[in-house]
Chain A
Amino acid sequence: MHAVIIDTLSKVYGKDKIVAVDRVSLEVKKGELFGLIGPDGAGKTSIFRILTTLLLPSSGSARVDGYDVVKDYKSIRSRVGYMPGRFSLYQDLSVEENLTFFANLFNTSLKENYKLIEAIYVQLEPFKNRKAGKLSGGMKQKLALCCALIHQPSVLFLDEPTTGVDAVSRKEFWDMLKRLKEEGITIMVSTPYMDEAKRCDRIALIQSGKLLSVDTPAQVTAAYSKKLFSAKADNMIRLLYALRASAHVSSCYAFGETHHFHFQEQGSSIDLLNELKQAGLEQIEIENITPGIEDCFIDLMLEKTK
């Protein structure tokens, strides 16, 4: 049984026919923690808004918990939880007022579903009389999660929940999601941070509205067929230009503190090293590395554009 089924879903905006979502098909299993990974503007939010019945699809269909997002939107609304990318609770209401308000709208109460949110709410409780607008970023995010959970949804949609949150809070947040998953809630989460992909059961890589790959994070990296190398030198910018100019290198991109690149089929590392030395670079380190999700993403993206 699948919690979310998306079938050739497309969304086209406005008169200029901007395609935000391009024939996307994927399935999310019940109880799965599913990640939608892609850069800004990839179409993640559009997909989330269609699944939460806030937006009508241009073509294709989608089902959440067995209900059609267009025809049965009312049934979906009472069984999904949605946390939008932007904090959108009432800033002038207190933490407790926000929670009771949303609980009441779903015909339930804070007491009834306290168990589900308890682990998160205990951290908020000291501030329960504080206005939501006066909370810190991490606290706001926890409150938003509580409000999305207060009616015991069967599917939880989290649109970029960790964007703009510090590293510690991000880790905490993913731990919380893990606990919620153990409660049997299906979670669909989107994020632009590739390093978070590892924490999902399965991920979908998305770029310009198109799916690049849907698989477990391990499978996605395993599917990476080429050998990947990283390079370091005293002058990183000149190194990048030198690598890109070299006949031994097929592709090269900056990756944090190092540059990642592939060799041409006949490329040799010794020749390349000599070439770089001749170019005046020093302290050159070249290493064979295992690719991460981001490398896979860049590779798939480049392949698509070719």
Chain B
Amino acid sequence: MRTLIVLLQKEFRQIFRNKAILPLIFVMPTVQLLILPLAADYEIKNIKLAVIDQDHSPYSAKLISKITGSGYFQLTHFGNSYPQGFKTIETEKADLVLNIPLGFEKNLIREQQNSLFIAINAINGVKAGLGGSYLAKIIQEFNMEINLDWTRVIQNGTEQKIETLNSAWYNPGMNYNFFMVPGILAALVTMMGTYMTSVNIVKEKEVGTIEQINVTPVNKMYFILAKLIPFWVIGMFVFSVGLGIIANLVYGISSQGSLFLLYLFLGIYLVAILGLGLLVSTYSETQQQAMSITFFFVMIFMLMSGLFTPIDSMPSWARAISYLSPLTYFIEVMRMIVLKGSGFDDLQYQFFVILLFAVLMNTWAILNYRKTN
């Protein structure tokens, strides 16, 4: 026990003396939590639209004003030749081209039908997909409106219409930040935990100080514990700063569920993540190697854990990878506790999995540590 205290003292002394790590612990969560949610906003506005109106009828004018009035589109080109309109896509002046053919109104009234043509610049897939579907939705609404106009004229009866009303649960304002901030915070803790542990342990190998420790009667378990405990504490601290100060004061997010439960999960989660850092360190000889390996894992965790894109929309093989990432469970738990206020009963599965991760990672790491030393 005395040895552990001596080792811990030394670790904390070194961490607080490190001019790069200490500011990072404070600055990184603050800056990233302030910047990342803005960048990760999916709502796309200001889609540049080119309209080719070959009809010049009241109906076409009505459609165009409906589209521009929606707020999503910005009319950057208005003309009556399609080739000319398409040029605007080529020159990046427009993301979408809407072509209203000649006789649009006439055919609609006479034959009850007509087709419109939309060309989409799909280089930015998200923008193109969303823009296309926004436009399609507006045209559909327009279609319904004119239909109603006619039926009213013919039957002179009451309006018939099925309307869907959405009510957004757990995030009534559909505030994107409420969704992103807890997730980003979870990812941040993961990143810091793995990077710092793996690099810190490998540094002792690289510099050779581990030799000097190994010839002392210090128990290896104490050495490992003394490496993990400081980063566990730092992880807890960074998380608290992120949740209590940034999420709460800046974004107005306060946990709906039990904070105790959240921290209990975080505690186990950190053990799992630090175990991963330890594991990486046992397989690397230099800090550069450790950084590269951790970068590989963190990259996959960030993109595969449902932080930005829902896991449910991934192909099944990709989903399997997602469920191998501990971050997936932490993001789930974060969102469930913070936004929904879920209790332990709802989270038993996640607790079980993360406990399994913690045991697995650390056992593997310690076995490999013994072997290599």
Which residues of A does B touch, CB under 8 Å? Answer: 52-54, 74, 77-78, 80, 82, 84, 86-93, 97, 101-102, 104-107, 147
Which residues of B does A touch, CB under 8 Å? Answer: 2-3, 6-7, 10, 13-14, 17-18, 207-209, 211-218
Residue pair A102, B216 in contact (C-beta under 8 Å): yes
A54-B18 contact given A77-B216, A77-B217, CB 8 Å threshold: no
A93-B215 contact given A84-B208, A88-B208, A107-B2, CB 8 Å threshold: no
A52 to B211, CA, bound (A): 10
- Name the one of B6, B13, B14 contacting A105, with C-beta atoms under 8 angstroms: B6
A77 to B207, CA, bound (A): 21
Residue pair A88, B212 in contact (C-beta under 8 Å): yes
A106 contacts across to B, CB distance below 8 A? 216-217
Count of A-B residue pairs with CB < 8 Å? 59
> In the complex, what's the smallest C-beta–C-beta distance from A84 to chain B, in angstroms?
5
Instruction: Show 8 A/B contacts (Cβ-Cβ < 8 Å), sorted by A.
Output: A52-B215, A53-B214, A53-B215, A89-B209, A104-B3, A104-B6, A105-B217, A147-B212
B10 contacts across to A, CB distance below 8 A? 90, 93, 97, 101
Residue pair B215, A89 in contact (C-beta under 8 Å): no
A87 contacts across to B, CB distance below 8 A? 208
- Give the residue among A77, A92, A105 with the most B Cβ atoms within 10 A: A105
A102 contacts across to B, CB distance below 8 A? 212, 216
> In the complex, what's the smallest C-beta–C-beta distance from A95 to chain B, in angstroms?
14
Least CB separation from A77: chain B residue = B217
A74 contacts across to B, CB distance below 8 A? 217
Residue pair A89, B214 in contact (C-beta under 8 Å): no
Least CB separation from B213: chain A residue = A105
B211 contacts across to A, CB distance below 8 A? 54, 82, 84, 88
Least CB separation from A78: chain B residue = B217
Known: A82-B212, A105-B7. 18 other contacts (CB 8 A): A52-B215, A53-B214, A54-B214, A54-B215, A77-B215, A80-B215, A84-B211, A88-B207, A88-B212, A89-B209, A92-B14, A92-B18, A93-B10, A97-B13, A101-B6, A102-B212, A105-B3, A105-B213
B17 contacts across to A, CB distance below 8 A? 92
Overall SS of chain A's interface: loop
Across the A-B interface, give the 6 residue pairs with the lowest CB-CB distance, nearest first: A88-B208, A104-B6, A78-B217, A82-B215, A105-B216, A77-B217
- Name the one of B3, B208, B218 contacting A86, with C-beta atoms under 8 angstroms: B208
A132 to B343, CA, bound (A): 52
A70 to B265, CA, bound (A): 42
- Name the one of A53, A78, A90, A97 contacting B209, with C-beta atoms under 8 angstroms: A90
A88 to B208, CA, bound (A): 5
A88-B14 contact given A77-B217, A105-B3, CB 8 Å threshold: no
Residue pair A93, B14 in contact (C-beta under 8 Å): yes
A107 to B218, CA, bound (A): 10
> In the complex, what's the smallest C-beta–C-beta distance from A87 to chain B, in angstroms?
8
A80 to B214, CA, bound (A): 12
B213 contacts across to A, CB distance below 8 A? 105
B13 contacts across to A, CB distance below 8 A? 93, 97
> In the complex, what's the smallest C-beta–C-beta distance from A130 to chain B, in angstroms?
13
A88 contacts across to B, CB distance below 8 A? 207-209, 211-212
A74 to B18, CA, bound (A): 33
> In the complex, what's the smallest C-beta–C-beta distance from A188 to chain B, in angstroms?
14
> In the complex, what's the smallest C-beta–C-beta distance from A234 to chain B, in angstroms?
48
A53 to B213, CA, bound (A): 12
B212 contacts across to A, CB distance below 8 A? 82, 84, 88-89, 102, 147
A227 to B350, CA, bound (A): 83
B218 contacts across to A, CB distance below 8 A? 105
A54 to B17, CA, bound (A): 29
A80 to B212, CA, bound (A): 12
A270 to B17, CA, bound (A): 72
Residue pair A90, B216 in contact (C-beta under 8 Å): no
A107 contacts across to B, CB distance below 8 A? 2-3
